[in-house]
């Protein structure tokens, strides 16, 4: 029997599932959402993410934080499209460790984030599995017709921005696994980010109105910018020295001997759930005003040029990445 070629995550999507996608609404499976036209002047925007024990969360993580992370990674996708969430479908695959108290804890996490983000459960399914626990959510949102911000709108001359800080997701995983030498308060902040990231839902409106292309940073800044560059048919150039770090991330970075290697880890680690986007230079001042109104950090990290792919520089020299970000095999 011939060997089976097990392709990676994105190759699997391209070869097997993209041909099955709706020709218009599925957007070629080249974005984080589907967009379905409605009759009330709005489009229905849908996204779906799954998280698996041992891959996206640790077996020791409290299930309320697991539920909140599931909600928030989906909210991050909608925020990067400029959409307003309203409801979700849920599938729970309970492992043997998920007794009634654990299931109640999971529901408590959902309840807290439903209240925080203004969404409600619409339906779903629950099953038991002898394997690791896993959970899947389909999140639904609205956006004015034709206003969804895709990955494919970046044009040469645009500037590249990112919200918040980069690297806290990867550092948080290092922290919860006991691999960081930092003050307990710093490790706690990073661990909290890993378990319950903050989706930038408050910035969805400026993204909708001013961004030419956008993507949430889930797989890693470099990998996700590569997706944006590919969809746009353009080149994204960034300077690693400009990548924003949190106070805890800066504390870790200040202890590194090899600054380039440290930045490479931060921009490829993933789980940040910030928004990376492009916009016209004429809109930079407006974007900064909108960010300031929301007390949100906004950093210009590069530019869009003619060409393809992502060019990252450190000290003016191009950097070659062995692995641009996280991928599922």
Annotated binding-site residue? 47: yes
Report yes or no: 66 and 109 within 8 Å, Cβ to Cβ. Answer: yes
218 is in an annotated binding site: yes
CA distances from 322 to 305, 319, 326 (A): 23, 10, 12
Residue 32 annotated in ligand binding: yes
Asked whether residue 124 is marked as a ligand-binding residue, the answer is: yes
Nearest to 136 by CA among 83, 192, 73, 45: 73
254 is in an annotated binding site: no
Annotated binding-site residue? 31: no
How many CB atoms sit inside 10 A of residue 99's CB? 9
Q: What are phi and psi of 269, to 5 degrees?
A: -75, -35
Nearest to 61 by CA among 100, 98, 111, 92: 98
As given in the structure block, the two tokens for residue 8 are 């990676």
Q: Is 49 annotated as a binding residue?
A: yes
> Quick one: which of 162, 182, 192 has its CA closest to 296?
162
56 labelled as ligand-binding? yes
Cα separation of 255 and 59, whole Å? 30
Q: Is 283 annotated as a binding residue?
A: no
Q: Which residues lie below 8 Å from residue 27, measured CB to CB, with a gap of 6+?
A: 21, 33, 34, 35, 150
Asked if residue 77 belongs to a known ligand binding site, the reply is yes
219 annotated binding-site participant: yes
Which residues participate in the annotated binding site for Mg(2+)? 32, 47, 49, 77, 125, 216, 219
Which residues participate in the annotated binding site? 32, 47, 49, 56, 77, 124-125, 151, 216, 218-219, 271, 326
Which residues participate in the annotated binding site for ATP? 124-125, 151, 218
């Amino acid at each position: 029997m011939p060997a089976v070629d097990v392709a990676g995550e994105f190759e699997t999507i391209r070869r097997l599932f993209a041909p099955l996608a709706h020709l218009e609404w599925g957007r070629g499976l080249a974005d984080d959402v589907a967009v379905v036209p409605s009759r009330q002047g709005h489009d229905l925007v849908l996204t779906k993410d799954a998280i698996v024990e041992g891959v996206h969360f640790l077996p020791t993580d409290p299930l309320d934080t697991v539920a909140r992370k599931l909600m928030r990674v989906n909210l991050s996708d909608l925020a990067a499209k400029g959409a307003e969430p309203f409801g979700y479908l849920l599938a729970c695959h309970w492992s043997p460790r998920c007794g009634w108290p654990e299931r109640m804890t999971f529901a408590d996490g959902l309840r807290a984030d439903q209240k925080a983000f203004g969404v409600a459960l619409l339906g779903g399914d629950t099953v038991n599995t002898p394997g690791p626990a896993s959970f899947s959510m389909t999140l639904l949102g609205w956006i004015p017709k034709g206003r969804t911000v895709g990955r494919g709108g970046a044009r040469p001359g645009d500037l590249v921005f990112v919200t918040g800080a980069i690297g806290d997701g990867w550092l948080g995983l290092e922290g919860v696994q006991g691999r960081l030498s930092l003050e307990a308060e710093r490790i706690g902040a990073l661990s909290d980010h890993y378990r319950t990231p903050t989706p930038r839902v408050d910035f969805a409106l400026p993204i909708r109105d001013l961004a030419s292309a956008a993507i949430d940073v889930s797989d890693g800044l470099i990998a996700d910018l590569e997706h944006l560059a590919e969809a746009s048919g353009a080149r994204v150039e960034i300077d690693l020295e400009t990548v924003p770090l949190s106070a805890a991330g800066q504390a870790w970075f200040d202890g590194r001997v090899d600054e380039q290697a440290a930045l490479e880890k931060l921009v490829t680690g993933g789980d940040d759930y910030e928004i990376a986007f492009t916009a016209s230079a004429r809109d930079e001042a407006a974007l900064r005003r909108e960010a300031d109104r929301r007390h949100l950090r906004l950093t210009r990290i590069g530019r869009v040029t003619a060409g393809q792919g992502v060019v990252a520089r450190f000290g003016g020299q191009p950097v070659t990445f062995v692995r641009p970000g996280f991928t599922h095999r």
